[in-house]
Amino acid sequence: MLLVDAVSKVYGQAPAAYHALDDISLEVKRGEFLCLLGPSGCGKTTLLNILAGFESVSSGTASLNGKRITGPGSDRVMFFQDAGSALFPWLSVEENVRFGLKLRGLPRAEADRTVSHYLAMVGLDEHRTKFPAQLSGGMRQRLQIARALAIEPEILLMDEPFAALDALTRRRMHTFLHDIWTKTGKTIVFVTHDIGESILLADRIAIMSVGPRSRFRDIIEVGLPRPREPAMPRFGELYGKIEGLLTNEVDALQ
């Protein structure tokens, strides 16, 4: 279980200090799909970076299964929007997936099996000798998923992973990620500013208020049957409700 308890994050020193997060608490159950939704600059990426261990908290605690998060760990893998930067361009598709396995000294045969298993899962099996530069945007994101899954983390942390893709590819990636999540049962914390994306994917949506001093405006249980489609009757209703909440947020700022 991922636990965020009264976490605040302050950047800088007293007179010029910026309070990014203010007294945030959250519980993510094992196997849950949680979306952090909010306008730009609301601190969702800051919260994700804290969970990943890239940034420290100013006060409060973030913990995983009762163990305090103090730095990056291979039980939580971050998944970046810019796959071009996040992947290792000098390694082939196969070698990218193998990277984490080599580090933990997995025997060759076992590593081979793991690599093949996850490449097949993300549908990149026949591209294993290609290099990231030769892949499309969607394929690069699938490679990033395979690389993350290969080291068998408990949690996937995803920072607007599909925001840079075109609408059609993005839609296919939603279906794809949903399948992966169903198959592997990973806990996923997914940052987005796209309301539709969060309704399609999440068990719960944590809506964040505009910064500074961001907090959770509301946490919504989606409760629609899966797999979901934008055409579902309750989809629009939920969309309107969340949009209303976010609009109030942004209006309050102006």
Partner 1 sequence: MSTIAIVRAAPSVLQPPRSLWTHLRPLAMIVGSMTIFFAVWQVLSSFVFNPHLIPPPTKVFATAVPMIQSGEIFKHIGISLVRVIIGFIAGTVLAILFGVVMGRLKAVNDLLDPIIELLRYLSPTAMIPIAVIWFGIGENSKYFLIFWGTFFFVLINTIAGVMRTPVARYRAAQCLGASELQIFMQVVIPSAVPYIVTGMRVAMASAFMSIIPAEILAADSGLGYLLQTSAMLVQTERIFVALATISLIGFITDRIFRWAVERTLHRYMAFITAT
Q: Which residues bind partner 1 (CB under 8 A)?
A: 52, 54, 72-74, 76-78, 80, 82-91, 99-100, 103-104, 123, 131-133, 136-137, 140, 144, 147-148, 151, 153, 164-165, 168, 172, 175-176, 179
Closer Cβ to partner 1, 89 or 230, answer by number: 89
Buried b (16+ CB within 10 A) or exposed e, 180-208: bbeebebbbbbbbbebbbbbbbbbbbbbb
Closer Cβ to partner 1, 147 or 217, answer by number: 147
- Angle value at C-alpha 14, between 9 and 19, nearest 5 degrees: 25
Phi-psi group of 41: left, alpha or beta (phi > 0 → left; psi -120 to 50 → alpha; rest → beta): left
Q: The tokens 């929007």 sit on which residue?
A: 81
Q: How far is the CB of 137 from partner 1 (least distance, A)?
A: 3
Q: How far is the CB of 179 from partner 1 (least distance, A)?
A: 8
Closer Cβ to partner 1, 171 or 213, answer by number: 171
Closer Cβ to partner 1, 3 or 91, answer by number: 91
DSSP 129-142: TS-GGGS-HHHHHH
Q: How far is the CB of 207 from partner 1 (least distance, A)?
A: 26
Closer Cβ to partner 1, 25 or 136, answer by number: 136
Q: What is the residue type of 45?
A: T
Buried b (16+ CB within 10 A) or exposed e, 108-141: eeebeebbeebbebbebeebbeebbeebebbbbb
Closer Cβ to partner 1, 62 or 77, answer by number: 77
Q: How far is the CB of 201 from partner 1 (least distance, A)?
A: 16
Q: How far is the CB of 84 from partner 1 (least distance, A)?
A: 3
Closer Cβ to partner 1, 20 or 51, answer by number: 51
Which of the 8 DSSP states describes residue 102? H
- Who contacts 189 (Cβ-Cβ below 8 Å, separation ≥6)? 2, 28, 34, 36, 48, 51, 155, 156, 157, 158
Q: How far is the CB of 220 from partner 1 (least distance, A)?
A: 29
Q: How far is the CB of 214 from partner 1 (least distance, A)?
A: 22
